[in-house]
Structures are given as structure tokens and as C-alpha cells.
Structure 1
Amino acid sequence: MRPLHYDHSTAVELLLEQTTEFVRAAGSFSEYDLLGASLVHGWSRLDVVVHVRAGLEEMVGVCAALVDDAPDHDAASYWSSFADVDDGPDAAVPAILWMRRTAAAYQRPSGALRHLTDVVGTGRLALARMPDHAVLFQAKAMTSGDFLATWVVELAVHQLDLGADAGHPTAGSLGVVRRTVEALADADLPADWDDEEAALVALGRRPLPEGAGHLAGALPLSL
């Protein structure tokens, strides 16, 4: 695995841009279409939106979780700490159903969109005041830049999960996804794959294209 680092100001800018794009993408769907299937097995588009909203609420809290510990994870190794746990696909069933129940608590999908918008507004305030300092997240100490870069990945990937009709994540965020998967796989993805295709293939949303068999041992990755 390769090291991967981002400076604070760059990560803040990338995250703000991708957050705006994710909110736009989520809001582009009708309530009916939000109930349609996403690219995440077992989740509707609405489930993806609620998952992102819940994650952003957690992110806002961590913006103030400053620590003096030396960082022990970076923007790539954060993800690998979860990849070490492989209990098979059935292990994901409780989390899939929990998210379905959480999303179903909204009377209408529009309520989930309003909640997302409110959390994003709070997140923007938190980011504007967040210092360039190490933070503690899920028992991992990370620089603020590396921590925020993981959220750039999260929002870009989940925008892709909303489907082709959701438009495209920002170019900057797709670049972060590509660098992240290359760092995790310790391999360069083919230069003729654009960053969006690289993300979809590397994360298993599309099968490996012909001629990419040399990557079969490294891909797909689970983030």
C-alpha cells in the first residue's frame, strides 16, 4: 500500500465542491425515483442519501475532535483498516437493513433531502472553522487533510452510486478516488481509463474490462 496525504486547504476545497455536487445530484431525482435501486446492493437511492447524511453528521463532530497524537493513518490506510475484516457478504445484511429502516422513518423522501441540506449547511460552518490539526476518528488519528480527503471519496463514490442520471462527481474528487484506490492496490490503473471509469471498475460497480486481467488480484476494492 502506498502512502497518501492531502494538505488541509486542498482537502477542504475538494470536499466543499463535492458536497455541493452531491446535494445537487440527490435533489435532481423525483421522490419516486429516489426509491429506485442504487448501485449499492440492497439500497435504494434514498438509502444512499440517508447514509451520506448520517456520515456527514459524524464528520461535523470530528471537525472539533482535535488531538495531539501523532497521526497513525493516512488518506489510504484509513480504508484498509476496514478491508482487513472479511466475513463474507452475509455479514453486511444487518447494516443494509438498518439503513433501510432508517430511511423508511421519513414520511417522504423530500424530508430526507431537507435533512441532508441542513447537515451540509452545518458542515460548511464547521469546515470554515476547522484548524489544520490532527483529529481522532473511529480510534484513528489522522491529519485534518487526510481525514477530509476520505470524505471526498465517500461523497464522490456515493454520487456514482445514485446512477448515471445523477451526473458526474467533480473532476477533483474523482482524482482523489483514483489516487486512493491506486494507493490501496499499490498499482497504477490503466492510463486509458478516465477517473470515473477507474472508480467504477476499481470499486466493483463495473466488471474488469478485457485486457485488465493483471489487476484481478488487486481489484475490486471495498471502501
Structure 2
Amino acid sequence: MRVDHATGQAGLIAALDALADALDALTDDRALAPSRCHGWLVCDVLAHLHLGLQEMLLGTLQTTHEAPDTDAATYWRATPPRSDPAADDLDGLVFARRLAAAYRRPTGLVAHLRPTVLGLRTAVGAMADGAVRFQGHVLSTGDFLATWAVEVAVHHLDIDVGDPAAAALRLARQTVDAIAGERMPAELGDAEVALSGFGRIAVPDGLGDRLPLHR
């Protein structure tokens, strides 16, 4: 699955704008509600997303002339590198909870996340077409931006505050279709496809060996 630079850029900018609107509407009580991610409250999802967006912001600077070795679909099959080789998924889940709990109030986390979202939006808008190194892979900028449009859209669905950007959800659907090797049922909307493809709701029959994605 290859995504051109303009499409990936527009998708991620739209996803970040929709997330910023959701953050403006988030209250302390809502941030303490359960999310769609197993073991996480809404504020825990936001702590995890903040770390990811900071990493992504650094990735925008890692330009390269190397040929891409990963695309917008195969990226999701790779295991992200860990700073602690002994850590597992449960350690990551607990770390996000501890990080979110370090704030005096959940909206303190939101206040920390918002400038990262806005700064990343500026960086994404300034990116030129090319390639970047990220998490040990080389991706075209279009694919790199598309993966993060999907990441933001799925976590936006996780917190269930406002609606993710339609352009980002379309990219999420295309990603799930590409990994499944077939188009998801037409009666499912883009949000439902994203939720099933990324393991938040049941996967359609016959796709259990290819889906869901767990990231």
C-alpha cells in the first residue's frame, strides 16, 4: 500500500485538527472514563499517544535518500523497537497508566499534549516529499504520514470524544483492506473497519488469521 505525499499529509493534518477539537472538549471526568483500549482510561490513551507523537515529530527530521523498505501497510506488521529489550506489551500498558497518573489532574495531560499536536501539525505541513528513517525502517513521506494519520484516528476512536477526520478513517480502511488482502464488507463504515481491524471490536468472519492488528 503506497500513499502519495499529498494524501498522507492531508490525512494527518485533518486527523490532528480533529484530535485538537476533541482535546478542547475533554473534561477531567471524561478523561477518567474507560477507553476502548484494554486496561486504559482515556487519559492513559492520551499519554501513550503523546509519546508517539513526540517520536513522530522527531521522525519528520530524519530525512534520507535511501529507498523505502516499508510501506503504509507493512509498517503495521513490524514490531516497534523498545528502549528496554526486556519490556513486553504489559509493561508498556502499565507505563502509560503511570505516566498519566503523574499529572495532578487529567486535564494537565491535555495541556501538555495540545502544543505537541499543534507543533506537529506545523512540522507536517512543512515536510517535503521524500523519505524518512523511522523505527529502523525507511518509508516514503506519504506512507510515513499515512501511518500516523491512522494511528491518530484509531486512538481518537479509542477515547470516543468527537469524531476522527474522515480522510484519516479512509486511510485506516485502506490499511486494513491491504493487510487483510481483501476489501472489508461494504456494509461496515470506515470507523467500524478501523475498530475491527485494530482489535477494538470483533473481526469479520474468516479474517481471524490476518486481523486484528495489535498496536
After TM superposition, the structure 1 stretch with the greater mean CA deviation from structure 2, 144-153 or 4-13, is 4-13
Distance 1:128 1:160 in 2: 24
Partner of 1:63: 60
* Contact persistence 1:26–1:49 (CA under 8 A): no
| TM-score normalized with structure 1 length | 0.88
Structure 1 residue 19 corresponds to structure 2 residue 16: yes
Q: Distance in 1 between matches of 2:208 and 2:58?
A: 38
Is the counterpart of residue 213 in structure 1 residue 205 in structure 2?
yes
Tell me which residue corresponds to 2:30: 33
TM-score scaled to structure 2, two decimals? 0.91
Q: Which amino acid aligns with 1:104?
A: A
Query: For residues 187 and 78 of structure 2, what CA distance do their matches in structure 1 show?
Result: 30
RMSD: 1.7
Give the alignment partner of residue 172 of structure 2, picking from 174, 177, 189: 177
> In structure 2, the residue corresponding to 1:100 is in which secondary structure?
helix
1:222 equivalent in structure 2: 214
**Aligned residue number for residue 7 of structure 1:** 4
Give the corresponding residue for 2:45: 48
SS at match of 1:94: helix
User: What CA deviation, in whole Å up to 9, does each residue of 1:57-115 have, x standing for no partner?
Assistant: 111111111111110000011111129xxxxxx94211111111111121211221111
Residue pair 2:63, 2:132 contacting (<8 A) in 1 also: yes
Query: Which residue identity is paired with 2:29?
Result: Y
Q: Once the two structures are superposed, what CA deviation does each residue of 1:179-212 show, in whole Å capped at 9, x if it has no partner? A: 101111112111111111111222221124xxx4
Task: Tell me how far 1:215 sits from its aligned partner.
Answer: 2.5
Conserved? CA contact 2:31–2:107, under 8 Å: no
Which of 182, 185, 210 is the aligned partner of 1:190?
Answer: 185
Q: 2:102 aligns with which of 102, 105, 120?
A: 105
Q: Distance in 2 between matches of 1:12 and 1:156?
A: 14
**Amino acid of the residue matched to residue 27 of structure 1?**
D
- Unpaired runs of at least 5, structure 1: 84-89
Q: How many pairs align?
A: 209
Q: Which runs of 5+ in 2 are unaligned?
A: 81-86
State the shift of 1:169 in Å: 1.2
Opposite residue 127 of structure 2, the aligned amino acid is: M
Structure 1 residues 128 and 217 mapped into 2: Cα distance closer, same or farther (>3 Å)? Answer: closer
1:27 CA displacement: 3.1
Q: Determine helix, strand or coil for the equivalent of 1:214.
A: coil
2:132 — aligned with what?
135
Alignment of 1:94-173 (within 5 A): 94-163=91-160, 166-173=161-168
CA contact (8 A) 2:13 2:125 kept: no
Amino acid in structure 1 at the alignment position of 2:193: A
Q: 3-state SS of the aligned residue for 2:46?
A: helix
Q: Per-residue CA shift, 1:23-43, capped at 9, x if unaligned?
A: 222332310220111110111
